[in-house]
Amino acid sequence: MLFNHQDLKTLQDQLEYIDTAIIPVVPVDYSKHLMDIADHYEMIQYVTMGVEQQFKGRLLVVPPIQLIDDIKILDTIESQLQTFGFKNLVFVVPQKFNLEKENVHKINILPLETLDHEMKQEFVQENIKSLMKSIIILWNK
pLDDT tens, position by position, 28-49? 999 988 999 999 999 999 999 9
Q: What is the pLDDT of residue 15?
A: 84
pTM: 0.93
Distance CA 40, CA 24 (A): 10
Q: What is the pLDDT of residue 114?
A: 87
Q: Are strands 20-27 and 65-67 parallel, antiparallel or unpaired?
A: parallel
135 neighbors 59 (Cβ within 8 angstroms) = yes
Where along the chain do its domains lie?
A: 16-132
Distance CA 129, CA 60 (A): 17
pLDDT tens, position by position, 73-126? 999 999 999 999 999 999 999 999 988 888 999 999 999 888 999 999 999 999
Q: What topology does CATH give the domain 16-132?
A: Rossmann fold (3.40.50)
Q: What is the pLDDT of residue 32?
A: 87
